[in-house]
Structure 1
Amino acid sequence: MSQRGVENASSIEKVMLKLHDSCTDHIGQAMRSNEPQINRVLHLEADFAAWIKALELQPEVQQFQSAHRDFGLSFYAAMSGLYRQAFSSLRSFLEVAIGATYLSSHEFKRRQWVSGKLDISWSSITSPEDGLYSSPFLEEFCPEVIGEQNERLTSLKRAYRRCSEYIHGNIPTSQLLPTDLSYKDDITEEWLSVAESSLTAALHCLMVRYYKDLPQSQKATVEGSLEDHFSHLVSVRRLLGLPLDEGVS
């Protein structure tokens, strides 16, 4: 390598190490400022991992594992101050996790998706006529949720939309993003909020699609998380055999 090439390589290395040091500083600030919220998000992430274990024999488990990796990248990016990348990977988590859940009931389309012949259609997944929270879908997989689906669908769509606003450069969100690599507590807090909503939505979708079909031994691995996050819902209390409030039949 020429002397000029050596100098260029050395300069690039210095820049990269400086960026690395900056990201390390951001991680420390994020952890000190948001520990309770981070713990909640990591609790939900661990529960998602438990579902992956329970579904390890399902053909779509590879997509759930891929979604889990996307979430890990999103978390790292958010803690490091790479906010647009954090929201992008979080949306990818939603698309892959919820897409795999929905397409598990459409084997032909699922195979086409995996082989690259079919793209995920978010509008199909969230369709009120035949999407994951449509009454026909719920009637077959989890009729207990009928009557609660509008609230759950709204929460899922809201998380996806917020991620998209950061990715597509909407003016209000673009103005929030720093122009350099710097820590922003308000954006970190918002990512944590959207991440919590995204993981909660993913867990509920997994419950809707799979819970009633799980063997009892595998149900036991996810029931704790369902009770933790959804015991306020009548549908989940019925699924888990928990007592209902007086006046609820």
Structure 2
Amino acid sequence: MSGDVTEAEPAAPPEIVVHYRRLQEKCAEILEQTFRVPGNVDLQAKSQMLLTELEAWAATTTGTPESGLLTSVGKELQYALLAVAQGQYREAFKGLRLVMELTLQTMHLSVNRLELREWLEGRKDTVWGVLMDVESGVLSVRYARAFFPDLEDSVANYRGLAQTLYRECSECVHGNMPQHILVPGNLEFDQESFALWHGKADATAIVLNFALALRFCRELGRDSLSGVETALMDRFGHLPAIRRFFGGMGGE
């Protein structure tokens, strides 16, 4: 008799595992397609700058609840950036909406400690209408007068931009008939969707940095803002109030 032992064939992976491996392979294929298109690497890198800026704001506010919340927002943004690179455009737009919502909610909770505790404990919800309230929201004249009066005349413009972005991204959340955000029905590369997302991400970065500057610049002081000064001057150097705050000329 032969002493050879026949090795058993390895068991086939469960069908559910095969299914998700196929999806993983498809996402990897789309990612490669995405970054082969000229200019797409630059678009992704530009949007990634918001992650760097959120991390800088979190570092600037170290030791406060806001720092931890902004760190969490950065993680959500990273998920959205990964989704858009892999062709998961609907999820990417959902993630972008969440990033905006959570950042502005952080601004609201920074001046409402009771609501902060209730929100952290799951007893208080984020209400977009409260954040955007014309009289008392985080982009209202009242809010500006309390934290950065020289930006009072600018809040309406950024509030309008925030409302537009939120409404458009909400099409991907609520399943509305698409009017502004058109994405493929299947998992596939789509250059128009990719570019559209990055355009919305750029506008979102403007809104969020304005809101953060409005809330924290005067409270923290210029000496504490070295990590975000360059970004703020790049984005808002056209605003005399920002130029004055960072020591530039305040005129035309």
TM-score where L is the length of structure 1: 0.90
Question: What's the counterpart of residue 31 of structure 2?
Answer: 27
Fraction of identical pairs, as percent: 25
* 2:29 alignment partner AA: D
| Structure 1: gaps of 5 or more residues | 1-5
Query: Number of residues paired by the alignment?
Result: 241
Matched, 1:193 2:199: yes
Distance 1:195 1:96, change over 3 A: same
Deviation, structure 1 residue 214: 1.3
Distance 1:163 1:7, change over 3 A: farther
Matched, 1:127 2:141: no
Q: Deviations over 1:62-104 (max 9, x none)?
A: 2211111111111111111111111112111111111011210
Q: Which has the larger helix fraction?
A: 1
| 3-state secondary structure, aligned to 2:133 | coil
Matched, 1:183 2:184: no
Deviation, structure 1 residue 174: 9.6
| 3-state secondary structure, aligned to 2:136 | coil
Question: What's the counterpart of residue 104 of structure 2?
Answer: 98
Moved more, 109-118 or 33-42: 33-42
* 2:21 alignment partner AA: L
**Distance of 1:126 and 1:105 partners within structure 2:** 15
Deviation, structure 1 residue 11: 2.5
Give the conservation status (yes or no) of the 8 Å contact 2:237–2:243.
yes
* 1:11 alignment partner AA: E
**Distance of 2:222 and 2:140 partners within structure 1:** 27
Give the conservation status (yes or no) of the 8 Å contact 2:240–2:250.
yes
Matched, 1:167 2:173: yes
**Distance of 2:178 and 2:11 partners within structure 1:** 41
Q: Deviations over 1:188-220 (max 9, x none)?
A: 111111111112211111111111111554222
Which residue, out of 227, 230, 233, partners 1:227?
233
Matched, 1:204 2:188: no
Give the conservation status (yes or no) of the 8 Å contact 1:52–1:64.
yes
Matched, 1:12 2:25: no
Work out which of the two has the higher radius of gyration on C-alpha atoms and give 1 or 2.
2
Moved more, 151-160 or 7-16: 7-16
Which residue, out of 38, 45, 65, partners 1:39?
45
Q: Which structure has the higher relative contact order (CA within 8 Å, separation 6+)?
A: 1
